[in-house]
Structure 1
Amino acid sequence: MVTAYASAQPSIRRRARGGEQSLRSLVFLGLLWLSLLVAMIFLVVLIGSTLLEALPRLDGRLVTEYSSSSPERAGARAAILGSIWVIGTTALLAIPLGIAAAIHLEEFADPRNRFNRLIEVNVQNLSAVPSIVYGLLALSALSLVGVQNKNIVIAGALALGMLILPVIIISTREALRAVPEEIRHGSLALGATPIQTVWRQTLPAAVPGIATGTILALSRALGEAAPLLLLGGLVYVTYDPNGFLSGYTTMPIQIFNWTGRPQAEFHVLAAAASILLLGLLLAMNGLAIFIRNRYQQRW
């Protein structure tokens, strides 16, 4: 048997090598690289053209002035503070619930139970639902409980929280799954209860992966406008939001408003706000990459 295996090795290597170097494989690989190159070119051109258009208004007035009917005096202060309020409230609503649900599904739920399998399938499907659907769901839920004014911070956070909740659950489960079983078994063998094992061993070891997935989910919520517009998010705000029941606007809503104006100066403002929003998104993604590379453990 050893002789037969050794004689089969060269033919296996030849087939593998021939498959990688065949004309069909090379054409497919070339098309993949070409599609990536075209996408990168379009992305660079889009960002570059937006940056060039935004340069005249990338100044202090953009972050210190409120929205105005005059483009020379307009700024995105209310939108920036509104985004902070909405995203902060979204994090308070979604992160604890998402992590708790992921811990239950991964550590305690019976995977053979039909109800648990149904929940897992629904969570995976909900992560691909368009954001406008969550806006409709939040609108229906608020109407059922009798909330009349829906353009408030807590309402927008509710819609965005439902939007990112499946993403947080899935990323947290993946982070928990990456923790070796030996750590759980060792903790249980030393007399710890399953809850103590999760709280003191499994969860701390999975924090880098959980933080990475959570930050990426929040960065997605930061760029959403459709569910907030459906809830009546304001497009003209000249005050700072000051609580969960305060009216608000966000940067995507403000950009949407400015791009719909006929004056070219408002389009310049929209480009400047887009660059600012892109910078915030890149910063959040960079933070997620830093946390993953700095604190992730190699098992």
Structure 2
Amino acid sequence: METNILNRRKAKSAALKSLVWLCGLLTVGILVYILLFILVRGIPNISLEFLFGRYNSESLSAFSSIVTTVEMIAISLVIAVPVGVFCSIYLAEYAKRGNRAVKVIRLAVDTLAGIPSIVYGLFGMIFFVNILGFRASVLSGVLTVSIMILPVIISSSEEAIKSVPDMYREGSLGLGATRLRTVFAIVLPAAMPGILSGVILAIGRIVGETAALIFTSGTNVLESPTLNLMASQRTLAIHMYMLASEGLPHSKDMAFATGAILILVVFLVNFAATKLAGRIGRSNDGK
């Protein structure tokens, strides 16, 4: 009797283990297929003219879009990361349980996380483009995207701060440090790998966003890149979408080339952020 029960448990355990492995392999397989499908069709169409040339009906260069994408990532993070991290510090370190302000903030974060990007685009077009008079420009797109990525940064930063052991705080306070100094000198450095994970997710959303930016930053592409925030420019994601929908010669091939560049940019940014998070984690462990 006991032998039969043990055999059934082993069979169930083996079946669940096989199911987990199957789901994992299926996920990896889908990712590999998508990457290979885009890279195989896109990389052969990448050239120096496409990467660094002027945009025209023949070359369809993505140079201006690459610069705009990097510019939008940098400025959006400069705006959203301090706001998100400081908000998470308040929620994790200073807010009292049951505080009405905390409930309001959490409701706002959850609501912002669930709003479709097209709604953000309509809001940005009405408020930043029309009411504030920023027109369809990089600045309007940056401000809209900064609001979009706030929920990701706040949620991940709060969880990272909460995961820091209480003995870190108690040790710092016991040595006479103020609460503010404890947060910025002890807690934040220990939570930095988790915060950077949220930043990586935010970068992924910025890079892949199209719906909101079409309404705010526009679909124009300049012959040569510019750092003018009031100029209307398209990012790589919008550039890929426009090329795929246009009837210009070789536009679909160039769309795949743009998709390959987009994947490489995301990979490089994620790789750099992951390495930075690992280095910060090792330095904190050493201390």
| Same fold per superposition (TM over 0.5) | yes
Counterpart of 1:6?
none
1:127 match: secondary structure = helix
Counterpart of 2:64?
78
Counterpart of 1:214?
199
| Gapped regions of structure 2 (runs ≥ 5) | none
CA contact (8 A) 1:87 1:221 kept: yes
Distance 1:141 1:206, change over 3 A: same
Find the aligned partners of 2:206 and 2:8 in 1 and give their Cα distance: 43
Counterpart of 2:10?
21
Per-residue deviation at 1:65?
A: 1.5
Counterpart of 2:82?
96
CA contact (8 A) 2:65 2:221 kept: no
CA contact (8 A) 2:43 2:260 kept: no
Distance 1:148 1:100, change over 3 A: closer
Counterpart of 1:234?
219
What is the letter of the counterpart of residue 146 of structure 1?
L
Find the aligned partners of 1:235 and 1:26 in 2 and give their Cα distance: 56
RMSD: 2.6
Counterpart of 1:110?
96
Distance 1:248 1:262, change over 3 A: closer
What is the letter of the counterpart of residue 172 of structure 2?
S
| Gapped regions of structure 1 (runs ≥ 5) | 1-10
Count residues in correspondence. Answer: 282
Per-residue deviation at 1:271?
A: 0.6
What is the letter of the counterpart of residue 106 of structure 1?
A
TM-score by length of 1: 0.84
Per-residue deviation at 1:232?
A: 5.0
Find the aligned partners of 1:18 and 1:141 in 2 and give their Cα distance: 65
1:243 aligned onto 2:243: no
Q: Deviations over 1:200-230 (max 9, x none)?
A: 2222222232223213312221111110012
TM-score by length of 2: 0.87
Match of 1:261 among 246, 252, 255: 246
CA contact (8 A) 1:124 1:170 kept: no
CA contact (8 A) 2:161 2:191 kept: yes
Counterpart of 2:28?
40
Per-residue deviation at 1:26?
A: 4.8
Counterpart of 2:107?
121
Counting only pairs closer than 5 Å after superposition, residues 67-216 of structure 1 correspond to structure 2 as: 67-70=55-58, 73-142=59-128, 145-147=131-133, 149=135, 151-216=136-201
What is the letter of the counterpart of residue 116 of structure 2?
P
1:147 match: secondary structure = coil
Per-residue deviation at 1:188?
A: 2.0
Q: Deviations over 1:152-196 (max 9, x none)?
A: 111101111011111111111122112221221222223322212
